[in-house]
Structure 1
Amino acid sequence: MNGWGRLLEWVTLALLLLLAMWQNDRLWERVGRLEGQLRELQQDLRYANQQLARLSVSAMATGGGSPPPDARDSAQDSAHDFAATPPALGAFARAAHARTRPDFAEGDWFVRALPTGIATLTPYVSSDAYAAEVQSYVMESLLVRDPETLAWQGLLAESWSFDETGTTLTFRLRPGVRFSDGTPLTADDVVFTFRFVMDERIAAPRARAYLQKIEAVEALDPRTVRFRFREPYYDALALAGGMEILARHYYERYLSEPETFNRSRALLFGTGPYRLRNPESWRPDLGIVELERNPRYWGPVAPPFERLVWKVITNETARLTAFRNGEIDLYGARPVEYERLKADTRLSARATRFEYLAPTAGYSFIAWNPLRDGKPTFFADKRVRQALTLLTDRDRIIREIFLGYAEPAVSPFNPRSPQHDPSLRPEPPNLERALALLAEAGWHRRANDGVLVNAAGEPFRFKLTFFQDNDDTRRMVLLLKDLYARAGILLEPDPTEWSVMLERLNQKAFDAITLGWTSGVEVDLYQIFHSSQAGPGGDNFVSFQNPEFDRLIEAARSKIDETKRMQLWRQAERILVEEQPYTFLVRRKTLAFVDRRFANLQQTRLGLNIGFVPIEIYVPKAKQRYGQ
């Protein structure tokens, strides 16, 4: 009986296990059906949004619907009489129009490469352009610029207006905007964002430098928010409208633990079309950033791609190989490569080539550090900085390093911008004049070897720090070493990792450093060169101080009248050219190859539309490479 009893127990246990497995299978089957139903519901909602977008575009094309936006840019017109009521689609009009194309389809991934790792994705704490690129798909602002007219368009805001004094700006938020967890956006989130960033405990000195023109932000009701400025400010609409909005319910806890926020790596959360699956789990050492489509995205036009992916590939040869193999979809070529790749028929068959100099193209420079560890350096004397600029042969750099795919830079202002004084041109190299300036500053050639020395017998020797993984920059530094050696100056190349470079900038622990700044429609010099921004963490890492310059840019920022403002900018520009806190180098052309499966690629006044949000490029169904 004991044997039969044990057998019965085993049979019963087996039956129970089979029943549990069957029930588990049924459970997963139900979960699978539920997920499928949810996907279908999302597709239905996206389809409905597409139809509404098409109807809006058709109405606009036939003269019906809402009137076109005011094409004026309040940053360049009188602020007190500006009022905007954009059409319902606002910033989504171009993306909606792309959906009317016969081959439009949702799906696929957009995969790009990063030349260096990202230290943090946390908004307002991060400080590099690569993190900003990722954030732009997750965080959203009240307004964005139209890439063709450059006029402001509503994104999170549906309308906005100034009062008669030009110091109060009121936004009306769009209805139905939600964060990626489904929580509605309200005016309280806008108010919270301002207060959070302006909290001195939050490591966001760059953002505070921009926002300090704002005196207060207040919610008038859940959909209406008012910005009060301390005084009229020419770029008020960009300042308030461009602020990326934080979710109060997500970020408020960090006011009680600000150091946790400051040290975080990926507290990235917003209303945007994409999201990090788990912001708390991403780490820089993963070597990849993946964003998934936000299933609760509020916009009238759904984002086309299922995923956006960035792979960290620091080696330039490896990036090109990855592009050739179809592992990434976009490749920014160096000039030397570009000349060779233009003739590559195999590459041309699968990639579209773009070559352009965007009106908002940034510039490269060498920053001279005049104060290190509390002591003046060789570069504290402006005659030394002037001499080094005269030794820097920009035309030769453009010819030999960039093969003509660049233009010389004379200041932070684009030479085609009304901010720029056309009488200021890059000075040609002049060894004789440079040596005369150096002699005035107390530097003379040593008799035995021609090296410059000062009265104390110190040789003119310095390190030029640069990003170690950029081959063009490395070649340029070696060229500069030879150019400066003609004057008896000993330049020591200092190749450095990106994270270390950022740390040295914050600590001002460098002799000289070569980098680049991105640019905009109208460049505000305050954050980079105003004396108040020379403190720890500020972007005035060359400690530039000039009271007259400060006065001029403060006056320019307060001038609404464009003609008067441009006169002030030009006066400030002349001081920069005289003082040479930077040696301004070049503005480079973009030389890009894009996988041919992408459709609706266009060049605009802001450059190629490949990085625009809302997204207006897509991959036709027949050309899609990745599944969901």
Structure 2
Amino acid sequence: MRPHVSRTFVNRRDFLRFSGALGAAASISATLSACGGPASTTSAGGDDTGLITAVIGYGNDQTWDPSMTASAFAMAANNHIYEGLVDTDPVSRDPYPALATALPADPGATTWRFTLRPGAKWHDGQPVTVDDVLFSFQRALDPQTLAYSFFTAWLREARKVDDTTVELVLKFPFPDGIQRLTIAKIMPKHVFGAPGGWDAAKGGKAVGSGPYQLVEHNPKANSRFEAFADYNGPREPTAQKMNWLSIVDAAARVAKISGASAEAQIAENIPYANIDQLRQSGLTVEGGKGMNHMFLMFNTAQQPFDDKRVRQALLYAIDTRKMIDVALKGHGTPASSFLNEQNPAYAKAKTVYDYNPDRARALLAEAGVSGLSINLMAVNVSWLADCLPTIANSWEAIGVRTTLEPQDTSALFTKMDQSQSYQVVAAASNPNQFGVDPDLILRYNYTAGGTWMKYTKWDSSPEAAQLFAMMDRAIQEPDATRRLQLVHEYLDVVAEQAVLYPVLHNELVSAWDPKKLTGVQAQAYPGVNLLQAKRL
């Protein structure tokens, strides 16, 4: 049977709590250092060798607040605008001192001392101070922020030592926390601590200490950057200007980077069907395998999705290999754990949802469920939308009537932010934007009181309490071998419960013109990093 597809789409209106859309439709130009008149998304002509034009396959109209955002566009941009005390290489994830002058002398200590880089300035010319660092870590430890999920388990406080030195006080030794410090972007207190400051950050205002400053921001169109002349940190700007185009439509993205008159030098989120075409035209096309995944999320407050057997049945029913072959042209792997196989902490889960329609039917019968109808809400990310028909057909084959309702990402999650009811959601996610350690990845989705757990209505259950306790035990375990064992034990619980669980992990592909751009690498997570890129 063919799936029933809803043609109802919802316009963007509000921003998501952590990665939602801006309410503003106008270009944000106040307090930016350039901007006059309407924005252009093309180069101004003449010699453009000082300009890098990049195409991002995600919207730039979501929150830019570094403590709140999970937006691929905003997070990538913020890595060029802001600095942490410590930042990490975008591919190797090796940490390096950014606003701090050195890494902690003893990563296993419970107090880390940092001296601020002399002469560091904000983009508005004001000096970076210890008070700015304290302000930023207070924000990161605010339970209302997304960053809170990544710090609260192990970081007690940030405290001032003197006018150039700050200490981070840990609850227990946690060397993995050094890489996480890049998540806590240091922000100017005099800008964002002012009345309305955080709302301005959500709306696209960005004032950092990094190598590039945001000079023009046009939601749903483009964002422009210029090299910050007073930057004195470890990664000097390598381009005079950058123009990042926000193009969600796959065909339009390909058009911007292909052909003799291609405007862009680099594009990410390349459709799999266009890889050969772009390579034949002389572009470098490379992929990265990581945590990027399509997941199903169930509303456990609504029957029969409160029964794990029903959730399991729907996962067993999906012909994931067919979906990968047809929709993703082979660029994916069926999930055999919450973690992707390339993660150093990966181990095959005890429960693996191989394609097994007979097992799916048996589980539904065991749960006493028949005649089930599902409205599958989904984000309209291009590669995920291509996967939806296989899910619907797989569910129809076991007697589950399925209606597909793809829609704008912010519209979908705004409904859930407003506590509107739903049954099942299919969405895309990649916690590797924040890091690769398993505790971080799980806490992005599985944190008591966190946004994703509120969506699932599951975190007050006894099973959730057990999981959260297991995660806390693992992060505090000093022995690396025992800690990994504990990680695998709680990953097995996540797989068995299947409340929010990957269907597949897929490869992300980027393309660039090697005759015009050097110093870039493909990432295994959305966005681009151009901190070492140079125009040729």
Specify if TM > 0.5.
yes
The 5-angstrom pairing of residues 82-97 of structure 1 reads none
Q: Is 1:188 aligned with 2:188? A: no
Q: Is 1:334 aligned with 2:250? A: no
Amino acid corresponding to residue 248 of structure 2 in structure 1: T
CA distance in 1, matches of 2:111, 2:526: 33
CA distance in 2, matches of 1:164, 1:365: 34
Structure 1 equivalent of residue 387 of structure 2: 476
Q: Is 1:179 aligned with 2:122? A: yes
Structure 1 equivalent of residue 532 of structure 2: 616
Q: Which runs of 5+ in 2 are unaligned?
A: 1-47
CA distance in 2, matches of 1:528, 1:122: 17
Distance 1:267 1:608, change over 3 A: closer
Higher relative helix content: 1
Given that 2:379 and 2:407 are in contact with CA atoms closer than 8 Å, whether structure 1 keeps it comes out as: yes
Structure 2 equivalent of residue 542 of structure 1: 456
Structure 2 equivalent of residue 137 of structure 1: 80
Given that 2:211 and 2:237 are in contact with CA atoms closer than 8 Å, whether structure 1 keeps it comes out as: yes
Structure 2 equivalent of residue 8 of structure 1: none
> Match for 1:378 among 304, 314, 326?
304
> Match for 2:412 among 498, 501, 506?
501
CA distance in 2, matches of 1:288, 1:523: 34
CA distance in 2, matches of 1:227, 1:416: 31
Structure 1 equivalent of residue 54 of structure 2: 111
Percent identity at matched positions? 21
Distance 1:236 1:596, change over 3 A: closer
Amino acid corresponding to residue 276 of structure 1 in structure 2: L
CA distance in 1, matches of 2:108, 2:256: 55
Q: Is 1:352 aligned with 2:287? A: no
Structure 1 residue 117 displacement after superposition: 4.3
Distance 1:208 1:393, change over 3 A: same
CA distance in 1, matches of 2:518, 2:348: 37
Structure 1 residue 554 displacement after superposition: 0.7
Q: Is 1:369 aligned with 2:310? A: no
Please give the secondary structure, in 1, of the residue aligned with 2:492: helix
Structure 2 equivalent of residue 46 of structure 1: none
The 5-angstrom pairing of residues 138-177 of structure 1 reads 138-146=81-89, 150-161=93-104, 166-177=109-120
Please give the secondary structure, in 2, of the residue aligned with 1:277: strand
Amino acid corresponding to residue 220 of structure 1 in structure 2: V
CA distance in 2, matches of 1:398, 1:491: 20
Distance 1:187 1:106, change over 3 A: farther
Structure 1 residue 336 displacement after superposition: 2.3
The 5-angstrom pairing of residues 202-281 of structure 1 reads 204-212=144-152, 213-240=154-181, 242-254=183-195, 257=196, 260-261=199-200, 264-277=202-215
Structure 1 equivalent of residue 366 of structure 2: 440
CA distance in 2, matches of 1:517, 1:308: 26
TM-score, normalised with respect to structure 2: 0.81
Structure 2 equivalent of residue 98 of structure 1: none
Structure 1 residue 147 displacement after superposition: 5.6
TM-score, normalised with respect to structure 1: 0.70
Structure 1 residue 337 displacement after superposition: 2.7
Q: 1:446-478 deviations in whole A, cap 9, x for unaligned?
A: xxxxxx2xxxxxxx11221222351x3223111
Structure 1 residue 563 displacement after superposition: 1.1
Given that 2:292 and 2:505 are in contact with CA atoms closer than 8 Å, whether structure 1 keeps it comes out as: yes
Amino acid corresponding to residue 231 of structure 2 in structure 1: Y
Q: Which has the higher contact order (CA 8 A, sep 6+)?
A: 2
CA distance in 2, matches of 1:505, 1:365: 16
CA distance in 2, matches of 1:148, 1:260: 32
Structure 1 equivalent of residue 438 of structure 2: 523
Structure 1 residue 561 displacement after superposition: 2.5
Structure 1 residue 357 displacement after superposition: 3.3
Distance 1:243 1:553, change over 3 A: same
Given that 1:398 and 1:406 are in contact with CA atoms closer than 8 Å, whether structure 2 keeps it comes out as: yes
Structure 1 residue 609 displacement after superposition: 13
Given that 1:365 and 1:583 are in contact with CA atoms closer than 8 Å, whether structure 2 keeps it comes out as: yes
> Match for 2:448 among 529, 532, 554?
532
Distance 1:601 1:586, change over 3 A: farther
CA distance in 2, matches of 1:159, 1:276: 27
Given that 2:317 and 2:394 are in contact with CA atoms closer than 8 Å, whether structure 1 keeps it comes out as: yes
Please give the secondary structure, in 2, of the residue aligned with 1:118: coil
Please give the secondary structure, in 1, of the residue aligned with 2:448: helix
Q: Is 1:574 aligned with 2:497? A: no
Distance 1:464 1:538, change over 3 A: closer
Please give the secondary structure, in 2, of the residue aligned with 1:357: strand
Q: 1:511-554 deviations in whole A, cap 9, x for unaligned?
A: 222222222321225534445134xx456532333222111101
> Match for 1:315 among 243, 246, 249?
249
Distance 1:242 1:529, change over 3 A: closer
Q: 1:269-293 deviations in whole A, cap 9, x for unaligned?
A: 1101111236xxx4525x2211122
Q: Is 1:514 aligned with 2:429? A: no
Amino acid corresponding to residue 425 of structure 2 in structure 1: I
Given that 1:121 and 1:266 are in contact with CA atoms closer than 8 Å, whether structure 2 keeps it comes out as: yes
Structure 1 residue 177 displacement after superposition: 1.3
Given that 2:53 and 2:263 are in contact with CA atoms closer than 8 Å, whether structure 1 keeps it comes out as: no
Structure 1 residue 603 displacement after superposition: 4.6
Given that 1:162 and 1:168 are in contact with CA atoms closer than 8 Å, whether structure 2 keeps it comes out as: no
Q: 1:276-316 deviations in whole A, cap 9, x for unaligned?
A: 236xxx4525x221112212222255312122212232322
Q: 1:385-429 deviations in whole A, cap 9, x for unaligned?
A: 110111011111111111211112223312243422246474421
Structure 1 residue 340 displacement after superposition: 4.8
CA distance in 2, matches of 1:230, 1:222: 24
CA distance in 1, matches of 2:445, 2:381: 28
CA distance in 1, matches of 2:342, 2:162: 43
CA distance in 2, matches of 1:609, 1:430: 32
Aligned length: 476
Structure 1 residue 508 displacement after superposition: 5.0
Distance 1:603 1:307, change over 3 A: closer
Larger radius of gyration: 1
Please give the secondary structure, in 1, of the residue aligned with 2:489: helix
Given that 1:139 and 1:272 are in contact with CA atoms closer than 8 Å, whether structure 2 keeps it comes out as: yes
Amino acid corresponding to residue 333 of structure 1 in structure 2: I
> Match for 1:421 among 318, 341, 347?
347
Distance 1:608 1:194, change over 3 A: closer
Distance 1:234 1:556, change over 3 A: farther
Given that 2:88 and 2:95 are in contact with CA atoms closer than 8 Å, whether structure 1 keeps it comes out as: yes
Distance 1:528 1:381, change over 3 A: farther
Given that 1:368 and 1:385 are in contact with CA atoms closer than 8 Å, whether structure 2 keeps it comes out as: yes
Given that 2:88 and 2:179 are in contact with CA atoms closer than 8 Å, whether structure 1 keeps it comes out as: no
Structure 1 equivalent of residue 396 of structure 2: 485
Given that 1:246 and 1:269 are in contact with CA atoms closer than 8 Å, whether structure 2 keeps it comes out as: yes
Please give the secondary structure, in 2, of the residue aligned with 1:585: strand
Structure 1 residue 197 displacement after superposition: 4.2
**Which shows bigger deviation, 144-153 or 584-593?**
144-153
CA distance in 1, matches of 2:107, 2:502: 40
Given that 2:349 and 2:491 are in contact with CA atoms closer than 8 Å, whether structure 1 keeps it comes out as: no
Structure 2 equivalent of residue 41 of structure 1: none
Given that 1:159 and 1:171 are in contact with CA atoms closer than 8 Å, whether structure 2 keeps it comes out as: yes
Given that 1:233 and 1:559 are in contact with CA atoms closer than 8 Å, whether structure 2 keeps it comes out as: no
Structure 1 residue 241 displacement after superposition: 5.1
